[in-house]
Amino acid sequence: MVRAHYTVISALPCPSFSGVCQTGEDCVVHTTSLPYTGQKPTSGWCVRQWQRTIPSNYRANVNLGSNVNVFLFLWAGPSNQSNPLRLNQPPYCSLPPPLRACVNCPHHFPLMVKDLDGDTVLCRFAHADLGECLDCPQYNFLKMEEETCRLLYNGKSSAGQYSVQLMVEDFSRQTQTNKRKALSSIPLHLSLTVEEASSSCTAEPVTTGLTPTGGVTIYVLPYEQINVSVTFHSDLESVSEIVVVGPPGLFRTALDTKGSLATMNLTWIRSPNNLPPLLPLCFLANTNSLQSEPRCVWLYQRQMETFPTGTELTCGKTEMHLVLPISTLKNLIVSELQLNHPSCSVTSNSTHVMASISLTGCGTKRVHSGSEMVYTNTLRSVRNTVISRQPTLIMPIACRFPGVETKGPRYAINMPSEQETFGLVKFWLEFYRPGEGPMANRTKIPKFRHLLPSSQRVRRETSVRTASRLDTLDLHVFSNTSLDRAELMVGKCMESETEDMADSLCILDQGCSAGNGTLEILTSISTVRVYRINLSTIKTKGTMLLLRTQT
**What pLDDT score was predicted for residue 466?**
31
Taking residue 439's Cβ as centre, other Cβ atoms within 10 Å add up to 21
CA separation (Å) from 13 to 62, 107, 176, 215, 234?
18, 29, 48, 31, 30
Pseudo-torsion of CA 224, 225, 229, 230, nearest 10°?
Answer: 80
Q: Which residue ranges of the chain lie beneath pLDDT 70?
A: 79-85, 175-179, 384-391, 403-424, 450-469, 482-485, 497, 499-502, 510-516, 539-545, 548-551
**What pLDDT score was predicted for residue 204?**
92
Taking residue 397's Cβ as centre, other Cβ atoms within 10 Å add up to 24
Does residue 10 contact residue 46 with C-beta atoms inside 8 Å? yes
CATH class of 424-550: mainly beta
From start to end of 306-349, where are the E strands?
Answer: 312-315, 319-325, 337-338, 347-348
Does residue 463 contact residue 500 with C-beta atoms inside 8 Å? no
Asked if domains 204-303 and 424-550 share a fold, the reply is yes
CA distance 144 to 151: 5
pLDDT tens by residue, 440-468: 888 888 888 753 433 333 333 322 333 34
Question: Among 1.10.10.10, 2.40.400.10, 2.60.40.10, 1.10.3720.10, what is the CATH number of 204-303?
Answer: 2.60.40.10
Q: Is 535 helix (H, G, I), strand (E, B) or coil?
A: helix
**What pLDDT score was predicted for residue 326?**
86
With residues binned 3-state (H G I as helix, E B as strand, rest as coil), the percentages for the chain, rounded to 5, are 5, 45, 50
Cis check: omega of the bond before 396, within 30 degrees of 0: no
**What pLDDT score was predicted for residue 102?**
93
What are the residues whose beta carbons fall under 8 Å from the beta carbon of 150, sequence distance 6 or more? 108, 109, 110, 111, 144
Question: Among 3.40.50.1100, 3.30.565.10, 2.60.40.10, 1.25.40.10, what is the CATH number of 1-197?
Answer: 2.60.40.10
Give the sheet arrangement for strand 142-145, strand by strand. Answer: 107-110, 150-153, 142-145
Q: Which H helix or E strand runs over 111?
A: none
- How big is the chain, counted in residues? 551
**What pLDDT score was predicted for residue 185?**
93
Question: Among 2.60.40.420, 2.170.190.11, 3.40.50.1980, 2.60.40.3210, what is the CATH number of 312-401?
Answer: 2.60.40.3210
Domain ranges of the chain: 1-197, 204-303, 312-401, 424-550
Does residue 45 contact residue 11 with C-beta atoms inside 8 Å? yes
